[in-house]
A and B are shown apart, each in its own frame.
Chain A
Amino acid sequence: MASASGIAAGLLLPFATLRASRIQSGIGVPSLDALESWQALALLLLWLSLAALSIGRGRAGALSAARGLVASGAIVALVWLSGDAAARLGALVGGFARVSVGAGVWVGVVAAQAVVLASRRELRPGGLWSSAVSLAAPAGVLALLASGALDATGMAREYANQGPRFWAEAGWHLALSAASAGLAVLVGVPLGVLAFRRRSTAGPILALVGAVQTIPGLAMIGILVAPLAQLSHALPWLRSVGFGGLGWAPVVIALTLYALLPVVRNTYAGLRGVPPETVDAGIGMGMTPLQVLARVRLPMAAPVITSGLRTAGVQAIGNATLGAFAAAGTLGLFVFGGLAQQSADLMMVGSVAIVVLAVGFDAVLRAVQRVLWPAKGGVAP
């Protein structure tokens, strides 16, 4: 399936998009024109071997790992070939020409990534093969980036244009997201505990944090701007730390409010999920209610709470994009800037960076969960 769509995408969709300058509309370049014939042949062979590996539908670990690794190879090959094609086409046209990654490549990468994910699912989580399959494609693409093989692509040129600004905004993006997720834990876990301890508060608390989700992100920031501006006006020292109607304050507050739902909900559910026998044992041995909470319930709910933090963090990284509208910077600047300038490459620079941040955060927390709670019982995440 994946191979078929990979080959079809390669044949039917443009491999690259060529523009005479960065803001002109582009023309699609088919694979056979963009690639040298041996490159096209090699790519075809890669897809065919992936198809052959998929026919042996066995769940055997070796076969799954092979599928994952070959698919990773296809991803790296596609990325490298588009870099190579960009260099060649760019030199051909010369001047201000921009060569973007074409739809054929994107579809191919998505198809191959689907195979990677499917094969990882069939491997033992946290095992050597699973890690190898997960890391092969990212490592390959990173190596390509470091080697300069992709420097001629439109995205790389946009990235080079931005210079150090890109990293400053990426860091800021991460900082705002992390601060929001952290605040959501500081506020959300106690709220979840309160909802659990006082059952009468559970309904209102869960309804409130749920209702926040229904407010669109831009509207939320808009709502916050005026009151925060007044607040900082009344308390001048707030302004000295950058707290005001615009800037980081409305963004962090909005992101925190969104992140509350997964944290509160998972804390509440995690605490409720602790088996009554275990709690009974704790009380029966003479733990005070507070000790039962701190030593039994919260530690046993921790995996579930961490899953909530994972959701909250990924959501915050996505929503932090809106910071661009509140004069708070973030990678959203490139996304919305690209949209405004009709520069797909600039937009992609921002989008890809956000996706990488979100996926990376999720992977790191998953790894933390695996290390801390390798299925030692407790409440399963």
Chain B
Amino acid sequence: MISLEAVCRTYPGSERAAVSDVSLEVPAGEVCVLVGPSGCGKSTTLRMVNRLVEPDAGRVRLDGRDVRDIPPDSLRRGIGYAIQGVGLFPHWTVRENVGCVPGLLGWERGRVAGRVTELLELVGLDPERHASAYPSELSGGEAQRVGVARALAADPPVLLMDEPFGAVDPLTRERLQSEFAAIQRRLRKTVVFVTHDIDEAIRLGDSIAVMRDGRLVQHDRPERVLAYPADRFVLEFVGGERALRRLGLASVSEALGPVLEGWAPGASVSAGATMRDALTRILETGEPAVGVVDSDGRPIGSVSVEAIVERFGKPLS
């Protein structure tokens, strides 16, 4: 668990605090996304966790231990750190980049090599093709995968990710996001993730911390941030499509009705679909409701516009 207790930080030569009085808890195994416009202090907050920035006031604890009591180098070796693609060492191969922290921890060669192969496969790269490549020979998406693999290398319980998917095209970013979500479902790391992209925050966060001018404005589950924005700033930041974005977080199973009579296989969504998917399908077919099928294609129920509207109107816990 990561907890920030009323941390403040003002950079020398600056009148305004970069971070002021931020308190935040990230339970073990969860992803907390720090989101906000540039200069809001989200990166500074993230960098306090591995002591790249020291708070002027307040305290950062890792599993209850004050990080100031841990020597910075060994603290950092125990925390995965991923930044935008430029953070790869250009003079090292992919293998050397990924094996960096294990090397610093003094793992023996064979173990490092095995771990590198394992990780490249985990992030969807072919070890034979990519391990000996230099970062300049990789595409943007590949470089960012390597960045994630490098952060995971020593199997740290905590990951800090500072816009790790920032420098790629939207399509690649979406793929990297869903792959990261899948990896996270398996590994259950405690993650602090910084982005300025609200969609990325909604997609990846177990909780979202919205920051503005160094202050934490709202910290809550994504659907609650969308449903109950704390103030005008959050309302504007989450954007005009916040109802649709909320639907994108809700599963059709929450609005499941009986199996339709005379149901046609084409007009259906899978059980894992979101209400947003269902609404899209409804608009495409022109019917008031679509079927819901299980993984074998058998109908298990239906979703109607009324059911979605009704579910949407219910208060969130």
Contact = CB atoms under 8 A, between A and B. Distances in A.
Interface string A19-48: 000000000000000000000000000000
A377 B134 CA distance: 8
A277 B86 contact: yes
A278 B77 CA distance: 16
B73 A288 contact: yes
A281 B160 CA distance: 12
B50 A284 contact: yes
A153 B101 CA distance: 66
Nearest to A277: B86
Interface stretch (B18-26, B87-95, B231-239, B241-249): B87-95
Given A286-B104, A291-B104, A281 B87 contact: yes
Given A375-B136, A377-B136, A278 B50 contact: no
A300 B136 CA distance: 14
Contacts of B134: 376-377
Contact of B89 (A283, A284, A286, A296): A296
B73 A287 contact: yes
Nearest to A275: B86
Contact of A283 (B52, B78, B135): B52
A277 B104 contact: no
Contact of B86 (A278, A284, A375, A378): A278
Interface string A225-240: 0000000000000000
A146 interface: no
A60 interface: no
Contacts of A288: 73
A73 B261 CA distance: 90
Contact of A286 (B47, B73, B136): B73
A378 B91 contact: yes
B91 A299 contact: yes
A287 to B, nearest CB: 7
Interface in A287-310: 287-288, 291, 295-296, 299-300
A299 B92 CA distance: 10
B165 interface: no
29 contacts: A278-B88, A278-B89, A278-B90, A280-B83, A280-B87, A281-B81, A281-B83, A281-B88, A282-B89, A283-B76, A284-B47, A284-B50, A284-B83, A284-B87, A285-B76, A285-B81, A285-B104, A285-B150, A286-B73, A286-B76, A286-B78, A286-B104, A288-B73, A295-B89, A300-B90, A375-B136, A376-B90, A376-B134, A377-B91
Given A283-B52, A377-B136, 9 more contacts: A277-B83, A278-B86, A281-B81, A281-B88, A282-B89, A286-B72, A286-B74, A286-B77, A377-B91
